[in-house]
Amino acid sequence: MKLSTKGRYGLRAFIDLAVSGEGQPVSIISIAQRQEISVSYLEKLMAKLKKAGLVESVRGVNGGYTIARPVEEISVGDVLRALEGDLVPVECAGIDESHATHCSSSSQCVSKIVWKRINDCINDTVDSIYIGELVQESRGL
């Protein structure tokens, strides 16, 4: 599975916001400069994160974005799903019926076991890493 720039840049920006914000709004321009992401692209990513309830915007001279919940409660998976949608490596009837393509051999296909295990591992991994841990790691660098 390969994440798009939405997931990669959005996660970097979200971590930057968590590290830089500490309860204070952070301007999108400052995040864009530190992360070397265009402001217009970052605005689109922040809109997705806001829609998912992960960030809040603050208007005004000292406005910007803040993290909407404690970073100890937000997983990498929450952020990636807000930006990328579901994290499935292969659309297969054996993984999840909501993502199923209509495969003519799905009833006797054993490769779906592989795809399900990969999917489960990816989701378990991103759901077990919390933004709070990454904030602590970044402060240790």
Render pLDDT for 40-51 as a digit per residue (tens, 0 to 9): 999 999 999 999
Render pLDDT for 106-117 as a digit per residue (tens, 0 to 9): 667 788 888 888
- Which tokens is 20 given? 């830089």
Render pLDDT for 62-92 as a digit per residue (tens, 0 to 9): 889 999 999 999 999 999 999 999 888 777 6
* Residue 24 CB-half CA count within 13 A: 8
For residue 4, pLDDT over 80 is answered with yes
Hey, is 130 helix, strand or coil?
Answer: strand
Domains, the chain, with CATH or none: 5-86+129-140 (1.10.10.10)
Distance, CA of 51 to CA of 78 (rounded, Å):
12
Helix segments in 22-54, DSSP class H:
28-35, 39-51
Q: Which amino acid is at 45?
A: L
Task: For CA atoms 33, 43, 1, 19, give the dihedral sign.
Answer: positive
Distance, CA of 76 to CA of 123 (rounded, Å):
10
Distance, CA of 24 to CA of 42 (rounded, Å):
19
Contacts of 34 (CB under 8 A, 6+ apart): 16, 20
State pTM to two decimals. Answer: 0.86
Q: Which amino acid is at 51?
A: K
